[in-house]
Amino acid sequence: MTAAAGPSSLLLVDDDPTFCRVLGLALNRRGFAVVTAHGSAAALEHARIDPPEYAIVDLNLAGDFGLGLIPDLLALDPAIRIVVLTGYASIATAVEAIKLGAVNYLAKPADADQILAALAATAGDPAAPFNARPLSINRLEWEHIQRVLRDNDGNISATARQLGMHRRTLQRKLAKRPARL
Amino acid sequence: MTAAAGPSSLLLVDDDPTFCRVLGLALNRRGFAVVTAHGSAAALEHARIDPPEYAIVDLNLAGDFGLGLIPDLLALDPAIRIVVLTGYASIATAVEAIKLGAVNYLAKPADADQILAALAATAGDPAAPFNARPLSINRLEWEHIQRVLRDNDGNISATARQLGMHRRTLQRKLAKRPARL
DNA sequence: CTAGAAATGCGGCAAATTGTCACGCTTTAA
DNA sequence: TTAAAGCGTGACAATTTGCCGCATTTCTAG
């Protein structure tokens, strides 16, 4: 990675402007020329004009624009290395994404280093270098809770239901960690 | 599938003789010429003598022990349609399996019909089933553990350290999960 | 406007999980 | 061939979770 000759171009597709901006900045700081798009149409438009080297596609709850976007992007340029990122990960969609041509598939939350490693991953190379230290179990749990909580507009009961955990337990977890990241 | 011209040959690779026999019978009843192998070596031997049309590879151990079998089989005959079946399902290994050339990846328990559907699946032509639900806390934790464990080549002590959890606890989690899911 | 439904924030207790230490036994490295 | 690291296991205390109930406070129709 980290091209020695000029910055690599990267197309970031995600509905959420905040997430887009944060991740975009982090990638920028690591030497990528980042372009963001908030939908398939905009993403394809960008790619048509100037096909990027890499693409990060976020599958949010909104329809299936994410998976369908993969072959569309590859049709414009088969060399684009696409990584799928989603908070609603499932094995079924992971398999589908890879079959459609994505080079990797990550479940949120994923930090910039994990994403870079995913972009660099080569097919079936178990000896791939791993540099990023993984999130602790607790941290991972916290991130996930926050994300789902946000999706539910702060509704604790609904969040607990979706997470398969008791409402009381969720309350206690939230109370125990007022602020931290 | 239901092959139109004669029984299709299928290689079933699984350590567990009982599971092998049960599934083998079920597939036989559906018109497949089933050959079973209880290990990579035996599987490759069978495949070398007479490459099957289909193969079902069971990953009984977390990690890439079984995954390595995929390229080996495809090297003998690139036309083999391989489905990976495992009780230790995780997104990380699913992605790896597909990249290595498997046509599908299923989590146990799966019945014969599901497996047949998986064998028949064509690359990216069916509408992707999009699971519009976030992962449960337990599921997310499991996926993460699998990923880190893989990064550490199965080293439980190192994985526990990185995850900020006690080795004993990790062992208990690993021992408990495979039974379910 | 108002009754019923849903959500919230507690307290408490039993059940399950985790942290921790200890011991014997393989691998792996030096 | 030692020394260091890892693995599997048992046991017991410390925490955490599941699950009850209940008093308030929001929604959400009718």
Given a contact cutoff of 8 angstroms between Cβ atoms, the answer to whether A7 and A32 are in contact is yes
Nucleotide with smallest C1' distance to residue A158 CA = C7
Assign residue A20 the CATH number of its domain. 3.40.50.2300
* Statement to judge: residues B14 and B87 lie in one domain: yes
**Residues A92 and A161 occupy one common structural domain:** no
Question: Which residues, other chains included, contact B54 with Cβ-Cβ below 8 Å and sequence gap of 6+?
Answer: B8, B9, B10, B11, B32, B80, B81, B82, B83, B119
Q: Which residues of B touch A103 (CB under 8 A)?
A: 99
Same domain, B73 and B110: yes
Q: Is the pLDDT of residue A110 over 70?
A: yes
State residue A131's pLDDT score: 35
**Does the CB of A17 have a partner CB in chain B at under 8 Å?**
no
Quote the tokens at residue B171: 């062992």
| Count of domains forming chain B | 2
Task: Give the tens place of pLDDT for each residue, A15-41.
Answer: 878 888 999 999 999 999 999 998 888
* CA–CA distance, B181 with B176 (Å, rounded to integer): 10
Q: Which domain holds residue B35?
A: 8-120
Contacts of A141 in chain B (CB under 8 A): 137, 140-141
A107 and A159, same domain (yes or no):
no
**A154 beta carbon < 7 A from strand C?**
yes
Residue B19 lies in a domain: yes
Please, which pLDDT band fits residue B128 given cuts at 50, 70 and 90?
very low
Q: Which pLDDT band holds residue A2 (cuts at 50, 70, 90)?
A: very low
Flag whether B96 is in a domain: yes
Share of chain B above pLDDT 70, in %: 82
Domain boundary among A94, A120, A146: A120
Identify each DSSP E strand in B126-173 by its residue range.
none
Q: Is the CB of B137 under 7 A from strand D?
A: no
Are both A25 and A94 inside the same structural domain? yes
Residues B28 and B109 in one domain: yes
